[in-house]
Structure formats: C-alpha cells, structure tokens
Amino acid sequence: MILLVLLCMMSVWPFGLIQSEKICSSGDTEEYAHTRVLAAGSVIRQKFTAQESRLREVSFTFALGTVMYDDTSIEFELASVSGKVLVKKDFSAAQLKENPQCTVSVNKWIHKGKQYSFTLKVKGNRTSDIYLLETPLVQNFAPGNCGLLQNGQTLQGQSYAKYVYGRPLNGRNVIFIWAFIGTIGFSMAEIFANRKKGVPSILS
Amino acid sequence: MNLQSEKIRVLQNRKNFQMGFLICEILILTGVLASLTHGKGVDWDEAFTYKLVTQNNLAGIIQATASDVHPPLYYLIAKLFVAVFGSKLNVFTWVSIIPTVFGMLLVSVYIRKRWGTLTAAILIWCLALGPYLLFYSCEIRMYSWMNFFVLGALLMTREVVEEKKKCYWLFLFLFSVAAVYTQYFSFLPLFFFYVYIFLQFLRSRSKRKLLALAVLCTADMVSYLPWIGIFCKQLQISGNPVKGYEFRFSPVVFFEETFHTGLEAEAILMMVLFLSAIIFLILFRKKFTGMEFSFLRMLFLNFIFCFFVSQWLGSLNGHFFSFRYIIYCVTFVWIVSSAIYIRISPPVRMSFIIWSVILGISGYSSVYASEYGMNQKMSYTEQFIRQNVASDAELVYNMSTFDTLFEYYMPGHRFIYFDDLKLDEMKGKTFWFIQLGGRDFTDAAKQAYHLQIEDYKGFGYTGMKQFELERVTVPVS
C-alpha cells in the first residue's frame, strides 16, 4: 500500500502525468483579418513552435460567407516537421455552419521547442465562401505561431489560433499534490495495516 | 509523593510550553495579517460600510441597518473603533482582523484542550491564512465577526455538554446573540448546535440540564425579540426572488469559490479531503472517544444542513445569496479535516500539515495580490482626479447604486445616475462620465447634442470592477 502511495506521488513528479494547463492563444482584439477564399482543393498551413511538451488541443476559426456547399469539408492534419502525422480530423460543412470555431483534441507528447504545423485541406467539387481567420498584428500572434502559408505562399499574418498545452507542475504544486496523496494514501495504508495486525475497527 | 509532584510539574511545564508555542504562532500570524492593512482600494460593500459608519451616529446606524439586509452589531463595533482610532481605511481593516485574532485565541484554549496542541496549531494557521477566511479577515465587512461568534458558540457547545461550569452557558448565550445580530445566516448553525445539545442531554436523561437549555433558548429568543419585527419587515421589503438568479446548489461551486488560491485543482482536492475525512472518521472510529465522534459527526451534518438550507432560504427573498453568508462552513471544513487527519497516524499528520501550510501560503499570496495589485494605478488615478476633476464637478455613472463606491474615492462631488441625466439641462456644461459596463450614450444622442467625448481610458479604480473615465462636453447648440 505504501508502495502504491509512493507510485502515485511519483506519477506527479518525476513522471509528470498530472500537468497544469498552459494556453497560448491569439490576442483578444477586434482587429482580425482573414485569408483569401479557401477554394476547393486549396491547402492552408500554419507552422508553430511547441511551447510545452504536451499538446492537448488546437483551435482555429473560420469566417463563412453566404455560399456554403454541403459537399465542402475541411481536413485537419497535425504533423511534425519531419512529416509524421499526429492527428487527423475532418470537419463537414454542417459542422462549420453550426460552429466556425473548430477545436481538435490532440493529447499527444511532443518536443518542446520543435516545429510542428497544422494543415487544412479544403475538399469538395465547388468553392464555398470560406476563409480562415487571421491576426495581422504581431502583438496579437499566438505564441509559437511562426508562418502561415496558403497554397505554399507565405501570408503576412498568422492564424487566429489557440493551443492548449500541458506543462509540468511547479515545485509548490508538486508538494501540494504529494501532500494530498499522502494524506489519503497513508490513511488507507493505516487501515490495511490495522487489518493485518487484527486491530479491531469498523472494518473487521 | 515527590514523584507525583515531579510528574505534575513536568506536565505543567509541557502545557506552558505548548501554550507558549500557540501564542507565538498567533502573534506571528497577527503580524502577517497586519501586513495586509495598507491596501488603498475598496469594493462596493466596503464603501457601503465606510459610508454607513462614518456618516451616522449609533442611533443612525441602527436606523440605517433596519432598512438593510444585515443587522447592526458589526457596524456598531466599527463605529466604536472609529470613534477611538479615527476613520482611516486601515482602522476598518483592523476591525475585521481583530475577530480572527480572537478566534485564534479561542482555538488555542478550547481546541487545544479537546483535540491537542497540533490540531490547534493547524487550525490557528487555517483560521488566519485559509483561503476565503483570510480574504474576509481583511474585508471591511461583518463576515470575520460572524465567523468568530459562530466558532465561539461551537466551542462553547462542546464545553456546555461536557463541563459543569455555568460560565460556558453564559458564553454560549453571548456568542449566540452576537452572531445573529451580526449576520442573520448565523442562525442556522446555532440552531443545529442547540439541537445537538438537546439530543446529548436527552441521551444522558438529565432533567436539570434540559431545563437549563430551555432557559438558554428562552433567553436567546427574548434577546432576538427587539429585532424580529425589523427582520420580518426586511423580508417583506426584499420581496420575490430575483429573476434569473442562478440557484447554486453544487458543493463543487462552494469549494471552488472558497478554496481558490491558484494552486492546481485545490478546490476538488479539498472537497475530496473533507469527504474522505468523514469516511475515515467512521473507519477509524476507535481512535476517537464517543463525544469526539458525535461532535465531528454533528459538525459535518451541520455543514450539510447550513449549505443547503441557507441556499434555499436565500432563494426565497429578493436579495442575492452569496457563500460568504455561510463563511463558517469553511471553518467547519477545517475543523473536521484537521481533527480527523491529525489523529490517524504520523505520516498522515505530516502530509496534512504540509497540505495546510502550502494552502495557507498560497492563500496569503493571492490575497496580497488582490489587496496591493492595483495600489500603484490607484495612486496615479487619485492624482489625476485631484489635478483634473474640479471639486464642484458633476459625475455621471452608469451602474445603478455605484455612487456608493465612487463617493468613497471622490467625496463631495455630485453624482448623477445615467438614467436621471437630462442632457438638455447640461447644455454648455462639461461633466465626467464614469464608465463601468452598463449603458452608454446612443449614437442618436451623440449626434443630437453634438457630444464631445474625451476618452481617459487608463485612469480608473478597481474595486468591483475597473471603471473608465470620459469627459463629456455638451455644446450649447
């Protein structure tokens, strides 16, 4: 039982299974812009540098016009700089119409400081009025965003995006959670120890 | 015989040392609380207290509170302090800190007596620095006094059940009366304490004690009589429940609000710790005496009772309900948790002490930040107002009743509520507009009156919320 308590403590640190949330998002401003229309077959790619070693989710937002064909869909792909695909997801036209702010759950270990990118491929036979929201001003760039390309051509702004990372707990939080695990865990250990010793309790 | 006296001497020395340790802890923590008395900002409630106490005499305070939602005792205490020490803001803060110090002293005597020095030491720490409790120890409101009176009544409840001294009955009476005259929601835990005492006496079949309890209850009721009529009138005035009020029944919300300091998952962990404590109380039944067991069980049930009944009562009248009205529930959480975990085993004891210490330090940092975070900006704004806003200037505000807050910062000015503003009468004049959310001039009004608006964004106070200053000129034509 004591071993189990210690194992739980180690899962907080050094294993780092419990992490705090770090949000890196574009500035909250009214000065948004959007890319050129995302024609059928076009590809838009946002490069970013990982701010932490665990990526929980990625969000980006589209701006929709009046024309939106049902067969239009967006394929999301998150990949490392070497091309290794981490996550793939499709967004249908209906989904986009309901909520143009898209969130993709990633939950993957990545390398802090290394470059990754997410790619949005527009599928369908006809071109819908669909644009990706971007932030033109440097001060509003989401931390880590380092290049937005539309069909291979670099754009001036960066996508209006939000990255939710998991980051290791700081020392104070580690000890705090250790103390919690200790309080509950050692109490349970005491119950099992008492049962072994045959000490009368409500359990026995 | 010598051996016996030597033993008594050693025990006495140990007791003195333990008491000395607790007194040192209280002194240090009082110093820590004192470090939070130099804040410059007030929120709406604090501004209300300040205004009510400084602009009324004792009779005026009683009259004013008769039409308010809180009873008068706290304001009367504050008035006495102000009469002696002056009306500086830190005097008011001390009025809120003092009951916390009194509470720590009570714990050092009665919790130490019943639960030991370590439990008392932890509870003193939590009373002073525990999240929420610390915030309200520095808030210019009545909640720290309420917490102290309820704590006093709680400790006296146990003494009345276990001891024969009559003074405990008197203390219980005084704490009970003071608590209800400080905040109406104190009635709930007191009711539960009295039921507990009744059941204990009923079990022991002591007719004399039951009679004494009946006398105490009668005395309490008689002492409440002068205010009961006013209370009923307030209930009528307060009227129907506020439309759209969210009925917050979830204990998770309670823990999130009362145990929030910025640590990871602290509220959920505290809730788990508290609920587990009750399970461990049952599992480790043999480690507690019958009286300890029933007392802790009563406290836990009291928490549940107050938590739900207070919200239900709160939903019946027009005034909003806030968890600060049941701040004593936070104290119950700490008493139950520390009394149980300190008793289980040394590793559990150590873990719980570390937990409480970190939570206390974190609580202090978050309250320190909220007390002093805006001091610099506020000094800057005060200077701006002194230099730019003439003493006879008119100030328009757009959040109902917030003149109470602004008057604290800008005494002597004339405040006009946005809805009462007649732009026709302001032609040829310039006035200041305090923006705090709420309404703004419509485009039509701006065009019709050719309003010239100068934005002074960046100048403002924090309190309830940061507001922004605009200077508005209404030309003659």
Write out pLDDT tens, residues B283-329. Answer: 999 899 999 999 999 999 999 999 999 988 887 777 778 899 999 99
Which of the four pLDDT bands, split at 50, 70 and 90, describes residue A203?
A: very low
B429-435 vs B394-397, strand pairing mode: parallel
Which of the four pLDDT bands, split at 50, 70 and 90, describes residue B465?
A: very low
pLDDT at A201 over 70: no
Residues A140 and A59 in one domain: yes
Residues 12-41 of A with CB under 8 A from B: 18, 20
Q: Kindly state the helix (H) or strand (E) to which residue B434 belongs, with its residue range.
A: strand B429-435
Please give the Cα distance from B332 to B327 (Å, whole number): 9
**Six-digit token string for B103:** 């509470």
Residues B182 and B103 in one domain: yes
Residues B89 and B132 in one domain: yes
The domain of B291 spans 2-372
pLDDT for residue B463: 45
What's the number of CA atoms in the CB half-sphere (13 Å) around residue B74?
A: 34
Region B155-180 average pLDDT: 96
CA distances from B476 to B248, B427, B428, B449 (A): 51, 5, 4, 8
- Give the count of beta carbons closer than 10 Å to the beta carbon of residue B188: 22
Residues B442 and B296 in one domain: no
The minimal CB distance from A182 to the residues B283, B351, B359 is found for B351
Name the pTM for this structure. 0.88
A contacts of B276 (beta carbons < 8 Å) = 184, 187
Residues A74 and A162 in one domain: yes
Last residue of a domain, one of B372, B400, B418: B372
Residues A14 and A27 in one domain: no
Give the model confidence (pLDDT) of B66-88 as tens digits. 888 899 999 999 999 999 999 99
How many structural domains compose chain B?
Answer: 2
B contacts of A176 (beta carbons < 8 Å) = 263-264, 266, 355, 358-359, 362
Phi, psi (5° rounding) for residue B432?
A: -100, 140
Q: In what order do the strands lie in the sheet with B468-474?
A: B414-417, B394-397, B429-435, B468-474, B452-456
Last residue of a domain, one of B354, B372, B390: B372
User: Are the beta carbons of B441 and B451 closer than 8 angstroms?
Assistant: yes
How many structural domains compose chain A?
Answer: 2
Chain A's closest residue to B352, CA to CA, is A183
Residues A14 and A49 in one domain: no
Q: In this prediction, what percent of chain B has a pLDDT beyond 90? A: 65
Residues B192 and B270 in one domain: yes
* Closest CA relative to residue B81, chosen from B38, B73, B223, B175: B73
Chain A's closest residue to B338, CA to CA, is A183
Residues B199 and B108 in one domain: yes
Interface check A3 vs B, CB under 8 A: no
* Interface touch B272/A184, C-beta < 8 Å: yes
B contacts of A200 (beta carbons < 8 Å) = 286
A contacts of B362 (beta carbons < 8 Å) = 172, 176
* Closest CA relative to residue B422, chosen from B443, B455, B396: B396
Residues A38 and A97 in one domain: yes
The minimal CB distance from B348 to the residues A172, A190, A203 is found for A190
Residues A11 and A27 in one domain: no
Region B390-397 average pLDDT: 87
Give the ipTM: 0.89
Single-letter amino acid code for the residue at B420: D
* Interface touch A179/B352, C-beta < 8 Å: yes
What's the number of CA atoms in the CB half-sphere (13 Å) around residue A69?
A: 14
Give the model confidence (pLDDT) of B83-133 as tens digits. 999 999 999 999 999 999 999 999 999 999 999 999 999 999 999 999 999
A contacts of B358 (beta carbons < 8 Å) = 172, 175-176, 179
User: Are the beta carbons of A86 and A110 closer than 8 angstroms?
Assistant: yes
Please give the Cα distance from B82 to B121 (Å, whole number): 32
B contacts of A191 (beta carbons < 8 Å) = 283-284
Maximal C-alpha separation, chain B: 103
pLDDT for residue B476: 77
Residues A149 and A192 in one domain: no
How high is the mean pLDDT of chain B? 90
CA distances from B411 to B47, B209, B404 (A): 11, 56, 10
Q: Report the DSSP beta bridge partners of residue B435.
A: B468
